[in-house]
Structure 1
Amino acid sequence: MSPTEPSPTPSANHGPRALPYALAASFFVLYAAVAVRRHQRGLSGGYDLGIFEQAIRNYAHFHAPVADLKGPGYNVLGDHFHPILAVLAPAYRLFPTPLTLLVAQAALLALTVVPITRWAQRTRGLWVGVAAGIGTGCAWGIVRVDAFDFHEVCFAVPLLAFAVEAAGRERWRAAACWALPLLLVKEDLGLTVAMLGLYIAWRGPRRLGVALAVVGVLGTLLEMFVLIPAASAAHTFDYLQQLEPSAAPPSAPGSRWWPPTRLDTTLLLLAPTAFLALRSPLALLALPTLGWRFASHNNAYWGTAYHYNGVLVPIVFGAMVDVLARERVRYSGRRLRRVLAGGLLVTAATLPAFPLATLVRPATWTTTAHQRAALALARAVPSGATVAASNQLAAQLTDRATVSMACPYHRPAQPVAYLVVDTKDTTSDTTNCRAGLAVVVADAERSGYTVVAARDGITLLRDSAEH
């Protein structure tokens, strides 16, 4: 313990040391069940599970991280800078299946519970630790990451949790060491590293903090303007254009000011902490992520639907624990109980709206006739074949075939031996295939493909020239 760190109260019941790890193990089981069952039902997508699997599959065989689902020969390092994905290559080499990625992601996300619970338990006792751990594990931002295929941010979530815990306990070097790998997770996280550096410079050793802030800013600039363009066929970082001013007037749906999605997202992030996070300067670490997201005119970044909020969960819950650790007198007795109960009530109220609740719904444990047909036709594609597939079918094939996206606007570099298309796959709207899947099937038949099987809107075709 550092000399300036708040000491635990002598009378606190700190409880078993295994508590943080027991909670993490429990959430790992829940997260893995959500993600694995979703994939088994054919609900995961080529965008994005298939893309990441293709990249990690190439890492596992010592190739550049190319994902043909993004485009012919597309190097994903030209999209986002996330070389940390190579860490999963050995596991994927041993177990070459998309489930490897999903289980690894569940484990990483569950690990986030450990530092938050440990810190709360150590400083305020058993029940505060339990409340903080359950709140973190059930947080909708983390659950959204778990249930939206696989994304590189699953590495950032636990790294930030450990960094925030270390900063809150004034273990400055440890905080910097936990934060630095964020530069290998995604290009914008260098700004979060820089913000942590400024916090350290303010509250701790100035030289260390300034150095970390400089490294964070330079890392983001290097990745956005040098490394990503070097790997991109267009020699540019495409996402910068999303920060350009929108042409939509302020009153238009999807404009910068209406609807107030950003406010809703912010309130939903803070409410499970009973808004205590606002009382801690550690909450400032959320500003870089919220800043670029809310400044963008891409409204997918504003809300709660995707994986973008995962990195904010350890920040807000860490900020809550920081307040409870430093303001013992203010938050004790009945007031402490009210705060913890209020936060847990918000968490409980939001659970039904987010994917963790699917575990208690009967539909999760059944497979519809349409899903069974789709999975059967995907299995009919021979291993090692070249195949173009609709979004959800693509994710069922990337572990054993060369897969590209079946879309009239996204053709493979060369003719493929098979096409398998589900015209009822509404998720293909996200891959620029809106209303185009029926066109794919019609075009394929006109160009010489033969229908091998067709069930319930799903069609498997084979190139006649291949046989």
Structure 2
Amino acid sequence: MLIPLQYNSTEIESDSLIARGRIPLTSCLMMGIFTFIFTWMNWRLYDGLLIPHGDSAMYEEHLWNVSHGKGFRSYLDQGLFWGEHIQFIHLFLLPLYLIWPSHLTMELCETVALAAGAIPLYRMAVRHSHSTTAGKAMVAAYLCYFPLHFLDISIDLKTFRPISFGVPLLLFALEAIELKHWKTALILLLLTLASKEDYAIILGPLGLWIAWRAFQERKRGTSTSPSSNLEKIKAIAPGISLSLFAVVYLPVVVVVLIPLFRDGAKVHYVGYFSQFGETPTEIVENILFNPSLLFGQLVHPDTLMNLLAFLVPLGFLPLFSPSRLLVAVPLFGLLCLNEVASDPRHHFHAPIVPILAWAAAYGLTNATEVLQRFRKQHQPDVIRRPSFSAHFLWSSSLATAIFFSLSPLGLAFWDPGSKYYWQRLYVPGERAQQFAKIENLIPPESRVASTDFIHPRYTHFDRSYDYSEYPRKVNDNKPGAPPDTDYIVIDTRHPYSNIKTPDQIPEYHDHPERWELLPDQTDGYFIILKRKPESASSQKQSAARS
């Protein structure tokens, strides 16, 4: 076991690791194991053609297109990606991506980033508890925390999400805030916002927490050094400024910037809250001023289940740091109102994870102090070294991971009857083997329209279009293949495939004179259509004129 069951001398811990802020070998090993396991899982999903382009490999296409002068976009987007989210943190991966231009690079970076979130958590837990074992317990709990696992691989096997980079960035920012390193905190918070605009919902209440803590510190110091009103204003200024910035930033992004890149259309995630209205303004007004509607949506068994899903793996310790826990309340409320996904198995909960982990790191010691006061005992040595809380924390996280994680910690990973069984997901099957026969069949200078799960293999081509039933801007807001498409590739066995035979492809069924059906080399697993030469030249001339 990487967490020792006995504490070392408090003096030794304080003088060595605590003072220097060093991360012990055991914590590094835990982070290394997490990185190895989840990188392996991500890479094997990619090898098995189980990672979709939409909401995963499309971000790799962003980097490919940027590095080749095609703009910050994938051809899945309705124009530039700015029309989906003000989210560009993955552009900082470009130096590494240019060395190894692959989706696998991005998966590795995301997993390393999530693991790195354990570093500030360890340091904060140790500083507050004066116990390195408490810090190790916090690291173990964080890395076993199943809501974190779903940020690396979600329940629908979407793997790479830029929002995940906000988790370690916000954790490092929280540590800087605790130490009052304001310049460092500012830079980290701006980078956190680059992970997705959702983090502004966290930064608003976080600013209020910073101001409240500063006010409390000044208040406690008045007996010995009275403060002027100007000094009090200076003390709360960083927090109030952050809160005001977040309050302004989010509406500007949602109401102005994103619609600007969508030709004035409203943001796509307005549909997630359709019970509150059809526009951002209607939704906000109903949430704020229609308490009966809000109450009816929130007071629901699912809300309690979501709350338990977040708190039980952390041993309820965030409750022992209530002021920090309150920072997550507004976003938790919005998550529970989300009609698409309200539980922590997708990606919408990402900004909540660092706040709860931060609260747990401080709740470690607070829990022991509260229990001691409740028992009316005076054992300062026990208070200083929260043994029970530390071991309850990591064991709670591990126990819940057994039942809910998709990783090797979870039963689903080992259950042959589960759709998440390791041999079903992480051992490439017949479909991947059949694709190897046609992988090099299409020239890289071609424009390819392909279905979602085979699409990641064509992001480095001249253009890679999404072939689906969704209307796309690159195809005049119609489904199917754009007019300048050279090849259509249909994956007939992917999880959501509706096309099984060539005659089910509208382009081939309606205009067989324009398309050549290439010989089947894959036993029906893949269908490839090639535009006939005379049709290809006329279509490209038409596309050039438009």
Query: Conserved in 2, the CA contact under 8 Å of 1:176 and 1:212?
Result: no
Name the counterpart of 1:444: 507
Name the counterpart of 2:230: none
Name the counterpart of 1:383: 444
Name the counterpart of 2:487: 418
**Runs of 5+ unmatched residues, structure 2:** 1-8, 215-234, 278-295, 372-380, 415-421, 471-478, 538-546
1:5-404 map, 5 Å: 10-11=10-11, 13=13, 17-19=22-24, 20-71=27-78, 74-124=79-129, 125-147=131-153, 148-169=158-179, 171=181, 174-204=184-214, 205-245=235-275, 256=297, 260-280=301-321, 281-296=323-338, 298-300=339-341, 302-326=342-366, 329-330=369-370, 333=382, 336-352=386-402, 353-357=404-408, 361-404=422-465
Structure 2 CA distance for aligned equivalents of residues 46 and 115 of structure 1 = 33
Q: Deviations over 1:137-156 (max 9, x none)?
A: 12222211212321111221
Compute the displacement of 1:427 (Å): 4.4
Compute the displacement of 1:395 (Å): 1.5
Structure 1 CA distance for aligned equivalents of residues 124 and 527 of structure 2 = 54
Q: Deviations over 1:214-266 (max 9, x none)?
A: 1111111221122211211344323234334269xxxxxxx946973333222
- Comparing 102-111 with 9-18, greater Cα deviation is found at 9-18
Q: Deviations over 1:174-227 (max 9, x none)?
A: 444432322222122222112111111100221111111111111112211222
Against the structure 1 CA distance between its residues 120 and 438, is the aligned structure 2 distance closer, same or farther, given a 3 Å change threshold? farther
Against the structure 1 CA distance between its residues 315 and 152, is the aligned structure 2 distance closer, same or farther, given a 3 Å change threshold? same
What SS is found at the alignment partner of 2:77?
coil
Query: Conserved in 1, the CA contact under 8 Å of 2:365 and 2:386?
Result: no
Structure 2 CA distance for aligned equivalents of residues 344 and 258 of structure 1 = 30
Opposite residue 67 of structure 2, the aligned amino acid is A
The alignment covers a number of residue pairs equal to 442
Opposite residue 287 of structure 1, the aligned amino acid is V
Opposite residue 110 of structure 2, the aligned amino acid is Q
Q: Deviations over 1:3-59 (max 9, x none)?
A: xxxxxx953636752325444333222221221121111111111223212222222
Structure 1 CA distance for aligned equivalents of residues 350 and 93 of structure 2 = 20
Provide the TM-score with structure 1 as the length reference.
Answer: 0.85
Q: Deviations over 1:272-295 (max 9, x none)?
A: 211110221111222232232223
Q: Deviations over 1:102-126 (max 9, x none)?
A: 1111121111111112222343322
Structure 1 CA distance for aligned equivalents of residues 110 and 361 of structure 2 = 25
Query: Conserved in 2, the CA contact under 8 Å of 1:34 and 1:355?
Result: no
Opposite residue 64 of structure 2, the aligned amino acid is R
Opposite residue 407 of structure 2, the aligned amino acid is L
Name the counterpart of 1:455: 523
- Comparing 146-155 with 408-417, greater Cα deviation is found at 408-417
Structure 2 CA distance for aligned equivalents of residues 141 and 375 of structure 1 = 35
Structure 1 CA distance for aligned equivalents of residues 312 and 503 of structure 2 = 46
Structure 1 CA distance for aligned equivalents of residues 244 and 500 of structure 2 = 48
Query: Conserved in 1, the CA contact under 8 Å of 2:133 and 2:390?
Result: no
Opposite residue 27 of structure 1, the aligned amino acid is F
What SS is found at the alignment partner of 1:426?
coil
Against the structure 1 CA distance between its residues 263 and 401, is the aligned structure 2 distance closer, same or farther, given a 3 Å change threshold? farther
Structure 1 CA distance for aligned equivalents of residues 30 and 179 of structure 2 = 21
Opposite residue 303 of structure 2, the aligned amino acid is R
What SS is found at the alignment partner of 1:11?
helix
Query: Conserved in 1, the CA contact under 8 Å of 2:88 and 2:194?
Result: yes
Against the structure 1 CA distance between its residues 257 and 195, is the aligned structure 2 distance closer, same or farther, given a 3 Å change threshold? closer
Structure 2 CA distance for aligned equivalents of residues 86 and 440 of structure 1 = 41
Compute the displacement of 1:365 (Å): 4.7
What SS is found at the alignment partner of 1:355?
coil
Structure 1 CA distance for aligned equivalents of residues 303 and 500 of structure 2 = 33
**Runs of 5+ unmatched residues, structure 1:** 1-8, 248-254, 429-434
Against the structure 1 CA distance between its residues 365 and 45, is the aligned structure 2 distance closer, same or farther, given a 3 Å change threshold? closer
Against the structure 1 CA distance between its residues 416 and 320, is the aligned structure 2 distance closer, same or farther, given a 3 Å change threshold? same
Compute the displacement of 1:316 (Å): 1.0
Structure 1 CA distance for aligned equivalents of residues 269 and 252 of structure 2 = 15
Structure 2 CA distance for aligned equivalents of residues 424 and 399 of structure 1 = 23
Against the structure 1 CA distance between its residues 135 and 27, is the aligned structure 2 distance closer, same or farther, given a 3 Å change threshold? same
Query: Conserved in 2, the CA contact under 8 Å of 1:377 and 1:460?
Result: no
Query: Conserved in 1, the CA contact under 8 Å of 2:193 and 2:200?
Result: yes
Against the structure 1 CA distance between its residues 172 and 101, is the aligned structure 2 distance closer, same or farther, given a 3 Å change threshold? same
Structure 2 CA distance for aligned equivalents of residues 163 and 455 of structure 1 = 53
Which of the pair has more CA radius of gyration?
2
Query: Conserved in 2, the CA contact under 8 Å of 1:117 and 1:133?
Result: yes
- Comparing 352-361 with 454-463, greater Cα deviation is found at 352-361
Opposite residue 104 of structure 2, the aligned amino acid is L
Against the structure 1 CA distance between its residues 344 and 440, is the aligned structure 2 distance closer, same or farther, given a 3 Å change threshold? farther
> Once superposed, what is the RMSD of the aligned Cα atoms?
3.0
Structure 1 CA distance for aligned equivalents of residues 427 and 261 of structure 2 = 43
Structure 2 CA distance for aligned equivalents of residues 411 and 258 of structure 1 = 43
Compute the displacement of 1:271 (Å): 0.9
